[in-house]
C-alpha cells in the first residue's frame, strides 16, 4: 500500500512501486483528465505537477513521488496561475479536440507560476514538450501572454 497526495487529498493505493502515476491516476484513482499520449515522455499529454513542477506522469513511477504533492488538471484551477491559464484558454478559444489540452494547461500553469511574464523563448522552452495535433500552438502562445498580461 502506498499513500499519494493527489490534489490535496491523501489517497492510499495498492500498486507496484514502478507503476507510472499516469496509470495510477487514470485506472486506479479514476482521475481521467490526465491523458495518455505516448508512454515515453515525448508528447506531454500526461503532464501533472509534482510539488508545482511539471512532470510527465507516464514515465514517473510511484516510488518517485512519495511525500510529494501531485496536482492534476482537475485541481489546477484552484491555483492562481492555473485559474488564469484556464480563463485565457477560454478567452482566446485555444481548444479544438481538447485531448492534449490538460497537458498544455499544466505546462503553461507551471510556467506562469514561476515566471509571471514569459518571453517567446521561455514559452518555447516550457511548451515544446507538449504536442498538439489540432495545431493550437499559435493560440496557446497568445493565451499564455494573455494570461500573463492579466496578472
Partner 1 sequence: MTEQTVSRRDFVVVLTSAGSGLLLGCRMGERSGAAAAAAAAAPSGFAPNAFIRIGTDGRITLIMNQVEMGQGVYTSMPMLLAEELEVGLDQVQLEHAPPNDRLYANPLVGFQMTGASSSVRMMYTPLRTAGATARTMLVAAAAQTWDVAPASCRAQNGVVTHLASGRTLAYGALVEKAAKLPPPEEVTLKGPKDFKLIGTPAKRLDTPDKVNGKATFGIDVRLPGMKIATVAASPVLGGKVAGLDDTKAKTIKGVRQIVRLDDAVAVVADHMWAAKQGLAALAIRWDDGPNAKVSIADVVQGLADAASQRPGVVARKQGNVAGAIGLTAKQIDAVYQVPFLAHATMEPMNCTVHVRKDGCEVWTCSQVLSRAQATAAHVTGLPLEKVVVHNHLLGGGFGRRLEIDYVTQAVRIAQQVDGPVKVVWTREEDIQHDVYRPYYYDRLTAWLDAGGKPAAWTHRIVGPSILARWAPPAFKDGMDGDAVDAAAQFKYAIPAIQVEYVRHEEPVLNTGFWRGVGPTHNVFVIESFIDELAAVAKTDPVEYRRAILGRAWRARAVLDLAAKQAGWGRPLPAGHGRGVSLLYSGWDTYVAEVAEVEVSTTGEVRVHRVVCAVDCGTVVNPDIVKAQIEGGVVFGISGALWGEITLKHGRVEQSNFHNYRVLRMNEAPAIEVHLIRNGEAPGGIGEPGTAVTAPALANAIFAATGKRIRKLPLASALKA
Binding interface with partner 1 (CB under 8 A): 15-16, 19-20, 23-24, 26-28, 30-40, 42-43, 45, 72-74, 76-77, 86, 89-90, 93, 95-102, 105, 123-125, 127-141
Give the C-alpha separation, 122 to 115, whole Å: 9
DSSP bridge partners of 54 = 49
Nearer to partner 1, 97 or 116 (CB): 97
**Least separation, in Å, of the C-beta of 145 and partner 1?**
13
Cell numbers for 66, please give them.
512519495
Handedness of CA 52, 53, 58, 60 (dihedral sign): negative
Nearer to partner 1, 63 or 97 (CB): 97
**Least separation, in Å, of the C-beta of 9 and partner 1?**
15
Q: Looking at residue 24, what DSSP letter applies?
A: I
DSSP bridge partners of 4 = 11
**Least separation, in Å, of the C-beta of 4 and partner 1?**
15
**Least separation, in Å, of the C-beta of 53 and partner 1?**
19
Count other Cβ atoms within 10 Å, centred on residue 45: 25
Q: Would you say 70 and 21 are in contact if contact means Cβ atoms under 8 Å apart?
A: yes
Give the C-alpha separation, 96 to 144, whole Å: 17
**Least separation, in Å, of the C-beta of 88 and partner 1?**
9
Nearer to partner 1, 10 or 121 (CB): 121
Amino acid at each position: 500500500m502506498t499513500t499519494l497526495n493527489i490534489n490535496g487529498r491523501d489517497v492510499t493505493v495498492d500498486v507496484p512501486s514502478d507503476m507510472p502515476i499516469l496509470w495510477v491516476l487514470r485506472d486506479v484513482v479514476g482521475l481521467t483528465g490526465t491523458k495518455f499520449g505516448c508512454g515515453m515522455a515525448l508528447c506531454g499529454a500526461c503532464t501533472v505537477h509534482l510539488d508545482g513542477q511539471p512532470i510527465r506522469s507516464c514515465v514517473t513511477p510511484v516510488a518517485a513521488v512519495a511525500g510529494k504533492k501531485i496536482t492534476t488538471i482537475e485541481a489546477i484551477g484552484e491555483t492562481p496561475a492555473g485559474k488564469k491559464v484556464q480563463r485565457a484558454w477560454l478567452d482566446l478559444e485555444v481548444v479544438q479536440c481538447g485531448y492534449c489540452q490538460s497537458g498544455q494547461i499544466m505546462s503553461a500553469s507551471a510556467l506562469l507560476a514561476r515566471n509571471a511574464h514569459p518571453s517567446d523563448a521561455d514559452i518555447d522552452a516550457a511548451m515544446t514538450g507538449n504536442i498538439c495535433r489540432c495545431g493550437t500552438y499559435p493560440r496557446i502562445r497568445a493565451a499564455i501572454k494573455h494570461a500573463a498580461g492579466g496578472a
